[in-house]
Amino acid sequence: MSPEIVFDPYTRLYSEATGFIRSSAVRDLMSITGRPDIISFAGGLPFIRGLPPEEVAAVMNDVMKDNFAEALQYGATEGLESLKTGLAGVMSEEGLRSETEHILITTGSQQALDLLGRIFIDAGDPIVMEGPSYIGALGAFLANGPRVITIPLDDMGMRTDLLETELQRGATPPKFVYVVPNFHNPAGVTMSPERREHLLKLAGEFDLLVIEDNPYGLLRFEGEPYEPIASHDSRHVVYLGTLSKIVSPGIRVGWVLAPAPIIEKVTTLKQSADLCSSSLNQMFAEAYLARGLWKKNLEILVPIYRSRRDAMLEALGEHFPAEAHWTNPQGGLFIWVTLPEYLDTGKMLPLAIEQKVAYVPGDAFYADGTGANNMRLNFSYPSEAQISEGVESLGKVIRKEMDLYHSLGLDR
């Protein structure tokens, strides 16, 4: 954890916008979860060690041998054109057709979230987010001071019926609706085709902008895939993608697919943010995609993740109390656990860490700090043995807390 700051002599110099900034719960946990003695379910780390290192090294070697000067030079703010072509191929695997002039390369999809938040949000503007929602999006958007309208999730994704009620009631239309429709982070659920269709109907009726964030769509374990929301409406939908989960988060390659006027605005803002994304990383990504190695990665990773999900579901059923329930994701990296309402997973976290296991408390995924009786568990990074051991330890912590509340009569 960061050291406590008793006095900050620079307070008078900070902009008002810094008052909206909040630290990520995952970042705050990193110093603890990075310890080798901790079994961490807290991060969203892909299992990079499952990939063939010799293939990565060969691609990077060829990039440096053939494009040494260009790879180490500045590049176009819009990104490498050949990489955009490769990314269009990735999107086509999920049924999304695109033109490269509507694609902007970003330094990870997190930069895309940051740029979009700065473009669209003025302080006090309403925006719609799922409840729970992705921590990184909350951080990027809240830094601009919006009024967040939270629409709950269930096993079929965002409750678009409640969204419709909110839109009919609201005097000021929201700037956008942000969704993670596939294998949601943190909830693990997938938005049903009916909900996707309803969301697009509302977008057309109320002239809404939808930001569709799709980091996990290709990490499917079972079930039929659904086409991206953007594949059915290129006017109302901004699509975000990333290579973090199918290649590597370390190369920091993400992208935005959007209507031309939005791409122009995002490009101009990106130019002032970092001039351009890394030329070296883009060239590596382009070569990696061109050789089809990302598809080989999926062939390796998907069975591993499926097996680890199954191990976690089995361990949860064995070690968690009957009062708890959780999602059963068909893909992705996360399981969302709901405990009895009287429990607070934030207050319980230090007890879990004492037992050498960590998770992310649920209130981190809500703009208003609700969700205290939830937790997000990641299954992609720890081994099956670690999953079994960690869930058993976590189950003991939960049962001990429940017993304490019961003895004090606070479980009502």
Question: In this predicted model, what pLDDT tens digit does every residue of 173-226 receive, in sequence order?
Answer: 999 999 999 999 999 999 999 999 999 999 999 999 999 999 999 999 999 999
Write a three-state SS string for 192-223.
CHHHHHHHHHHHHHHCCCEEEECCCCCCECCC
Domain boundaries, the chain: 11-51+295-407
Side chain identity at 164, as an amino acid letter?
A: E
Nearest of 78, 87, 61 to residue 277 by alpha carbon: 78
* CA distance linking residue 176 with residue 326, whole number of Å: 29
Q: Which residues of 63-98 are buried (b: 16+ CB within 10 A; e: fewer)?
A: beeebeeebeeebebbbbebbbebbbebbeebebeb
Q: Convert the pLDDT of each residue in 344-377 to its tens digit.
A: 999 999 999 999 999 999 999 999 989 999 999 9
Predicted confidence band of residue 5 (pLDDT cuts 50, 70, 90): low
Choice between 6 and 240, residue whose per-residue pLDDT is larger? 240
The pTM of the full predicted model, rounded to 2 decimals, is 0.94
Instruction: Kindly tell me if the per-residue pLDDT of 412 is higher than 80.
Output: no
* Measured distance CA(210)–CA(179) in Å, rounded: 7
For domain 11-51+295-407, the question of CATH label 3.90.1150.10 is answered with yes
Residue whose C-alpha is closest to residue 365's, from 347, 393, 346, 392: 346
Surface-to-core class of residue 131, CB atoms within 10 Å of its CB (0-12 exposed, 13-18 middle, 19+ buried):
buried
What percent of the chain lies above the pLDDT cut of 90?
Answer: 86
Q: What is the pLDDT, as a whole number, of residue 14?
A: 78
Residue 411 scores a pLDDT above 80:
no
Residue 6 in this model has a pLDDT that exceeds 90 = no
Task: Tell me: pLDDT of 31 over 70.
Answer: no
pLDDT at 1: 44
Name the 3-class secondary structure at 320.
coil
